Structure 1
Amino acid sequence: MAVKPEGHPCWADAMFTDLEGAKSFYGDVLGWTFGESATEYGNYTEAYHDGKAVAAIVPPMPGQEGEGEAQSQWCLYLASPDAAATAEKIRQNGGEVVVEPMPVADFGTMCLARDPSGVAFGVWQPGTHEGFQAEMGTPGAFCWAEVFTREPEKSDAFFPAVFPYRAKQMQDDEADFRIFEAGDAPVLGRMKMTEEFPPEVPPHINVYFAVPDCDEAVAKATERGGVLRLGPMDSPFGRFASLNDPQGAAFSVIDVTKTEGEMPAITEVS
């Protein structure tokens, strides 16, 4: 796959205390296989589907077990041609740079940050590692992601200021939902967290992985100790469900081949 344009999701990884448990769970639910752990990079382990890299998992750093920062969660990385310049934009627009841009051998340069509402995300300036190898939306691969925030006005101002996004608001009486586009492509959603979300659920980016059958994936996930949070339900975008894996990381699965209903109207935000 070619290098992703600026602002496009390009990679996802997650930290798990039980690395073997994560391999077993996602291998069963998403059909992933795993490469050798890179001991020189903290046992960073890439996941593959049909031989193409789709994500990675990693154990906590020594001494990090039990800390809040070590809680399992998926991190989405957004592409940048210059991670240092993006980090500066993050600071200038009220965000927090949690991990300063740092080179990872010749693979690329990474940065970890939070938006002003507390949503954690990564920035990746590609080197030899360009990101996702599998085509977006194919079974087992990354498909979509949404910023979940209790303070949408902060996220709405921040992301288009840092990345070359154009915003569109979905006309929906039941949800406050916005889409960020880069070029002509929708790349990221933004959902306002309502009171239905327990207070202990932090703002986050929810990552969707494509599956050939949503109900079958949910059945496998719950059999393996995952917790179903929403769905399965039909939408104009596909049949989807939201879950937590056995170690608490939130993710969603979607079958993009089964769509139902009309696309909601959207209006461009000035």
Structure 2
Amino acid sequence: MTDTAPIPAGSPCWVDLSSSDPEASKAFYGELLGWTFETGSEEFGGYITAFLEGKQVAGLMQSQEGAPANVWSVYLGVSDIEATNEAVTANGGTIALPPMTVGDLGAMGFVIDPSGGFVGEWQFGKHVGFEALDVPGAPAWFELHTRNYAAALPFYQKAFGWTTQVMGDTDEFRYSVLAVDEVQRAGVMDSDSFLPEGVPSNWIVYFNVADADAAVETIQRLGGAVLRGPEDTPYGRLASVSDSTGAMFSLLQHTS
């Protein structure tokens, strides 16, 4: 869907990449997803915005010393970041980055959920998030892979106001989705049994592609790697991959 309506509070509203080599990342995603880029002023740290056919879809920045590098971050939209942070700490989360104002664009912060998942917050100003969603080249889905599903799910319900639907509740597949106005916007997966040793709970962004197999070939040619798939699932043809700097993400090809 191309989503030009306001993104509901609590829903994923933005993603950005902290890259050790922004120029390499621009070349990679420009070819893979058809993005063009615009670099902001020094006032905003030279933050790079990615566009798909003129619509903003993601951000890119130089990783900072001492901060995670080559990782995608997911941001949840909030109407009041200070009130949200009070709810975060009241429900077992911690504040990783206190709120900071970004000019007239909005305010940002990062929190850690009780399962260890690192997620961003964005209080809307002039920057209202994605201008396109779930079309080829745009973000399509957002998923928390958690090592403590029993703690993570109620945290997002209480801290971010999520209304969730249970999609599966067995040891083999335990999964719930955030649903707003009957639109599914994100998922939480019980991943403790399959996350590699030492890998914490983490958010994954899926990008829509018209052809997952062709996208995988392009990724390999551009110096990325295929971690899993492509494979057919009830939700489409999926693949887990990494870019030329090692940043992990997933691909989603819708199938009939």
TM-score calculated relative to the size of structure 1: 0.89
The equivalent residue for 1:44 is: 47
Quote the sequence identity (%): 37
Query: For 1:62-96, what per-residue CA distance to the aligned partner results, in whole angstroms no more than 9, with x for missing partners?
Result: xx1xx3x3322111111111111111111111111
Q: Secondary structure at the match of 1:220?
A: helix
TM-score calculated relative to the size of structure 2: 0.93
What letter corresponds to residue 242 of structure 2 in structure 1? N
The equivalent residue for 2:14 is: 11
The equivalent residue for 1:142 is: 139
The Cα of 1:98 is off from its aligned counterpart by 1.0
RMSD of aligned residue pairs (Cα, Å): 1.5
For structure 1, the residue ranges without an aligned partner over 5 or more in a row are 260-270
Q: Secondary structure at the match of 2:233?
A: coil
Alignment of 1:112 with 2:110, yes or no, is yes
- Sort the Cα spacing of 1:219 and 1:172 in 2 relative to 1 into closer, same or farther, 3 A: farther
Structure 2: distance between partners of 1:203 and 1:98? 15
2:253 to 252, 255, 268: 255
Please give the residue correspondences for 1:118-129 in structure 2 after superposition, counting only pairs within 5 Å. Answer: 118-129=116-127
Structure 1: distance between partners of 2:190 and 2:84? 25
- The number of residues matched between the two structures is 252
Alignment of 1:55 with 2:58, yes or no, is yes
Does the 8 Å CA contact 1:108/1:129 hold for their aligned counterparts?
A: yes
For structure 2, the residue ranges without an aligned partner over 5 or more in a row are none
The Cα of 1:107 is off from its aligned counterpart by 0.3
Bigger mean CA deviation after superposition, 87-96 or 30-39: 30-39
Structure 1: distance between partners of 2:7 and 2:209? 23
Structure 1: distance between partners of 2:198 and 2:40? 32
Does the 8 Å CA contact 1:164/1:182 hold for their aligned counterparts?
A: no
Structure 2: distance between partners of 1:179 and 1:2? 20
Query: For 1:165-214, what per-residue CA distance to the aligned partner results, in whole angstroms no more than 9, with x for missing partners?
Result: 22222237532222122332212111122443221322110101111111
Structure 2: distance between partners of 1:200 and 1:41? 34
The equivalent residue for 2:33 is: 30
